[in-house]
Chains A and B, each alone.
Chain A
Amino acid sequence: MGRGRRRALEAGAATLLPVLRALLGIAAGVLLAALCTLVIGLLQLGYRREFLFLYVPGVLVVAHLTGLLPGVVAALGSALLALAFLEAPAGQVVAKLRADLLPQTLYVLTLLLVAVAGSQYRAVQHRLHRDLLHARRREQDEALLVEVTDLLMRQPEEAVALEGVLRRLVPALGEAAAVLRGEGARLTPGAQIGFGLFPRTWQALTTEAAVVEALMRAAGPAVLGRGSGPVGLGEALAIDRAALLVAPMRFGDEALGALVLAARSARAFDGEAVRAAGAVADRLAAAVHRRRLAEQRRRRDRHTQFISDLMVEFARQQALPALLDRVATRCAETLGQWCAIGLVDAGQEVLRFDTVYHPQAERGEALRRGFGDERLSEPLQARRILEQGRPVVLTRGDLRGDALRALLDAPEGADDDPVVMAVPIYSGGRPLGLLVVGGRAGQRWDEEDLRLSLLIADRAGAAITNARLIEAERRARARAEEEAHRLQALNRIIALAAASTDLGPVFDEFAAALRVLVPFVRVTVSLYVPERDWLRMPYFSGPPLTAPPERFEGPRAGTVRGWVIDHGRPFIRRDTWREAEFAEDALLARAGIRAYLVLPLATEGRVIGTLNFGHAEPDTYTAEHVRLAQPVADQLAVVLSRRQLFEETRRLAGQLAETLQRALLPADLPQPPFTAVAAVYRPADPEARIGGDWYDAFLLPDDRLLVGIGDVAGHGPPAAATMGQVRHVARAYALEGRSPAEILRVVNDLLYQIPGGLHLSMWLALVDIYRGELVYSGGGHPPAVLQTNGEARLLHSSGPPLGIFTGLAYTEERVPFPPGCRLVAYTDGLVEATRDIVEGERRLLEAMAAARAVEPGLAVTRLVDQVLAGGPQQDDLALLVLDALPPEAPLVFTLPAVPENLRRIRRAVRTFAERVGAAHLATPMVLAVGEAVLNVVEHAYSGQPGVVTVRGEWQGEALTVLVADQGQWRAPVERGRGRGALIMRGLADAVVTRAGPRGTVVELRWQVRREEVGT
């Protein structure tokens, strides 16, 4: 039989049955009444009212069995039949009835009551039964509920719990059960059991929008079936001929879902079932809500933890890129699949997505590229989202552009699938950027996710701002450090410049330090020489410009350096290939220097030079370089000017020293006749060029030679000044004719008087070369050495150093000093070099012996060198060597060409003639030489000082005397002076005059026959 027909049949049966039952009951009632009547009739009992009670059991049974209506029919019918058949004929019935109305009615009523009672009894029984059933049901339901509750409470896994619950419901409450979970506006199937019996119903339940809507809106549990429920719904659901009991799972106002039970017949869903379903649904709702709450709480806790973890990471990551990476990664992990963070750049124009994270590298790369060329932010409408300031979930349909869609992980899907969540990042009310999260397949973001994303954005905003601040601070600090470094380099440069006595050796280092401030290929310093309007270049560093290297020294005019010096301002040349107005430009351009910077070296209002930087790249130098390098130039100017001053001072001091020295130490010792004198002086400090030692050789008018040597305690100008005074005093007293001892006495007293307590040692001698003797005295001084043939004699002197005691008398001694002797006087600086005076003296005597044959000029050097070979010089030293020339030595002397010396020369010539055994020629020689010398004195030097040199010697058999000068010869044209030539020619055998631009030599010659030579 087809389903439809059967259903129809069933439906038909469902309505017919109670009617049939009722008719059946009536028929049974009537039958029973008839039966009883029959029995009574047969028994010939006759009608008695009480016989109505015979019908009571029958009526009771009928009413009980078939319901009230049949019972009533049975009661009335029985009464009627009894009356009718048992009593009287019909016509009398009514009269009978009227006659016994009351008891008849009573009897009938009693029957009716019995019917009612019978039926009620049944109903009560029914009800009782039903109540029992209900109670049992309720018990069952309670038990069910308890179980369900227990299950829901105990079972941690929701899916398992639900399934367990459903298993309990089936088949207790229905044949199939399912829980539909509400997710927002949708219901998604949770667990289900038994809907395999009603597949199409299930499909309708889960996909038909109308169904879902209805389910969502249901106020309470309801049975849906054909004809019941919302229009059409029943139709939709009745496909499988299922009746549905739908109980919404509501917690408070929130629709959490629905519990759906299905059965083949709606009768399975009675009130109890509905109630039970409702209760179960409530439990389920509560459980779901609880779980959801717990889940939410857990999620919230997780999120809070997430946030605090994120904060920790923020605290750890100071660098912005790393920070953003962490945020992106964690967001991707927690909120979706991938995450990109874009920051608004400084100009607030562009959103740059520099941070992209995707767990799959190549997809991440694709995203990065997509965001990088801003193909994505446009379709993302990022700016709009940013301006709105609220997180936005974009669905697939919202995304315009295939580019973005192509990047989504689930390219296929409904247009209203959420795919991307964009959260603006704000800080301090200003938009910083956008956090974009791409969802996993099927991802749905709920309130909690949005809340989390907002929190993340908020924290991230603060962290980004913080990181930026830190970055800014770091950059500022780096700048400050760089400035400090530069300042340090600057100071180092300046200290270098200031510390060096000469910038030259350290200039390369100086240049290297300068490189920190200013780039250059070549750096030079030019100094201005005002006297010549000239530029020097004393310092330079870097490869030379041309070969051979040019140093840019030359006139100031037309040069850029000259311009800078004139204007006192720096000059920047951007490109020598393009601009050339100064002298250096062409040369620099050729040499490859295209850009240069010239800074003035200015100090105390003067510009003393320039500091020049050159570079091969054009447009290298800017005002910033000027700012950095000008302080260096200023300091350099100070250093250089100080150095100039220092050098000037040194030069002056040196000049002064030289002047002093020349004043104090005779540069040219007198070379009197028959004498050779040489001396050497070496100060301990060669820089000072001046010390406390002193020597002198002074020719007195009587041809005696004052020879002295001394050693002041101390060095430098004060000592030298003292020695100068001493020298002049000695000379003065010697000129007065005082003897050495007296001179010492005077000097001693003089020194004693001088405040400051200088004392000195001194050795003094008056050498009479004509007499061949010397007188000497000394105080506190090492003995001079007298070398005669083969022996050396120390000329000791007693007496303390001068200036310590007053009123001393010094002793003197006279010793022979014949021709061929040598006198060596020295200061103790010579012999103390070896730190052992005895050793020093020994070395000196050794050296003297070795140098005996060497003329004094060479001897002094040899002696010093040989003695000092024993040890370095510690103190000033002076050494004087005086030779009394041997008789056979030529007469050679040089004297100033002054009238006073005419007499000396005459004496010398005479002595010479006598010495060489030509005494008879003495007079003419003297006269002739006298005239020759007279000529020199009068005419050779035009009033300027000059010297005359006389040299007399044997030349073969002739005695010659040369008289030489260095002057410009003037012809002796004066009247009377021609006599000189006359006299010379008259007195000498030959007179030869050789005049030249550098001097004149007059040679006088006397032929001497050897026999005439006496002894």
Chain B
Amino acid sequence: MDIQVQVRKVDGVPLLDVAGELDLYTSPKLKAALDSLLAEGHTRLIVNLLETTYLDSTALSVLTATLKQVREAGGNLGLIYTQPQIERMFTITGLDEVFPIFRGEADAVNAARAWGADAAGR
């Protein structure tokens, strides 16, 4: 699988670094990681797409599904990307209006602090 999903915590906020291509084949890995974080009770998530070279509608579905879940829990899912093709994808699909988009990690983490407190506390 041409993807790597690594989870790290920054200030208590889980941050998933996705490196590689996110398609039908590889998105389940992301989904699995997100699901496990959700199961742990995190509601504030950040997905770092800066190393993502490809993203298709499957990935978008995964992200939107997670977004919905965390939003219902009072949380949020932020995305970090700068690549034009990724931007293009979110723009065409209008999802750039839906997800909080950040250009860098620092911004994302800062914004995530403001999101609703998660069940995990902290």
The answer on a CB contact under 8 Å between A980 and B57 is yes
Q: Does B121 contact A (CB under 8 A)?
A: no
Known: A926-B54, A987-B88. A979 touches B25 (CB 8 A): no
Q: Does B82 contact A (CB under 8 A)?
A: no
Min CB–CB distance A481 → chain B (angstroms): 86
The answer on a CB contact under 8 Å between B61 and A976 is yes
Report B-chain residues with C-beta under 8 Å of the C-beta of A931. Answer: 56-57
Q: Does A902 contact B (CB under 8 A)?
A: yes
Min CB–CB distance A728 → chain B (angstroms): 23
* In the complex, per-residue mask of A948-988: 1 if CB is within 8 Å of any chain B CB, else 0: 00000000000000000000000000001101101101110
- Once the chains are docked, how many angstroms separate the CA of A906 from the CA of B116? 39
* In the complex, per-residue mask of B101-117: 1 if CB is within 8 Å of any chain A CB, else 0: 00000000000000000
Report A-chain residues with C-beta under 8 Å of the C-beta of B85. Answer: 923-924, 927
Considering only residues 866-905 of chain A, those with a C-beta below 8 Å from chain B are: 899-900, 902-903
The answer on a CB contact under 8 Å between A899 and B24 is yes
The answer on a CB contact under 8 Å between A983 and B89 is yes
| Residue among A899, A906, A926, A979 having the largest count of chain B Cβ atoms under 10 Å | A979
The answer on a CB contact under 8 Å between B23 and A979 is no
The answer on a CB contact under 8 Å between A903 and B88 is no
Q: Does B93 contact A (CB under 8 A)?
A: yes
Considering only residues 54-90 of chain B, those with a C-beta below 8 Å from chain A are: 54, 56-58, 60-61, 64-65, 84-85, 88-89
The answer on a CB contact under 8 Å between B84 and A982 is no
Q: Chain B contact residues: over half helix, strand or loop, or mixed?
A: helix
From B25, B64, B91, B93, A899 is in contact (CB under 8 Å) with B25
| Residue among B26, B58, B88, B93 having the largest count of chain A Cβ atoms under 10 Å | B58
| Residue among B2, B54, B57, B58 having the largest count of chain A Cβ atoms under 10 Å | B57
The answer on a CB contact under 8 Å between A906 and B21 is yes
Min CB–CB distance B11 → chain A (angstroms): 31
CB closest residue in chain A, given B95: A979
B contacts with A, residue count (CB < 8 A): 21
The answer on a CB contact under 8 Å between B23 and A930 is yes
CB closest residue in chain B, given A977: B57
- Once the chains are docked, how many angstroms separate the CA of A900 from the CA of B3? 12
From A923, A934, A982, B23 is in contact (CB under 8 Å) with A934
CB closest residue in chain A, given B21: A903
Known: A899-B25, A906-B21. A934 touches B58 (CB 8 A): yes
- Once the chains are docked, how many angstroms separate the CA of A986 from the CA of B92? 6
The answer on a CB contact under 8 Å between A934 and B57 is yes
- Once the chains are docked, how many angstroms separate the CA of A924 from the CA of B91? 13
Known: A906-B54, A930-B56, A977-B61. A899 touches B23 (CB 8 A): yes
From B23, B57, B89, B91, A903 is in contact (CB under 8 Å) with B23
Q: Does A938 contact B (CB under 8 A)?
A: yes
The answer on a CB contact under 8 Å between B56 and A934 is yes
- Once the chains are docked, how many angstroms separate the CA of A924 from the CA of B83? 13
The answer on a CB contact under 8 Å between A902 and B24 is yes
Min CB–CB distance B115 → chain A (angstroms): 23
Report B-chain residues with C-beta under 8 Å of the C-beta of A900. Answer: 25
Considering only residues 24-69 of chain B, those with a C-beta below 8 Å from chain A are: 24-26, 54, 56-58, 60-61, 64-65
Q: Does A937 contact B (CB under 8 A)?
A: yes
Min CB–CB distance B117 → chain A (angstroms): 29
Footprint of B on A, CB under 8 Å? Answer: 899-900, 902-903, 906, 923-924, 926-927, 930-931, 934, 937-938, 976-977, 979-980, 982-983, 985-987
Q: List 21 A-B contacts (CB under 8 A).
A: A899-B24, A899-B25, A902-B23, A902-B25, A906-B21, A906-B54, A924-B85, A924-B88, A927-B88, A930-B23, A930-B54, A931-B56, A931-B57, A934-B23, A976-B60, A976-B61, A976-B64, A979-B57, A979-B60, A982-B92, A986-B92
Q: Nearest 5 A-B pairs (CB), nearest first?
A: A986-B92, A899-B25, A976-B61, A979-B57, A899-B24
Footprint of A on B, CB under 8 Å? Answer: 2, 21, 23-26, 54, 56-58, 60-61, 64-65, 84-85, 88-89, 91-93
Besides A899-B23, A982-B92, 17 more A-B contacts (Cβ < 8 Å) are A900-B25, A903-B2, A903-B25, A906-B23, A924-B88, A927-B54, A927-B56, A927-B89, A930-B23, A931-B57, A937-B24, A976-B64, A979-B93, A980-B56, A980-B57, A983-B89, A986-B93
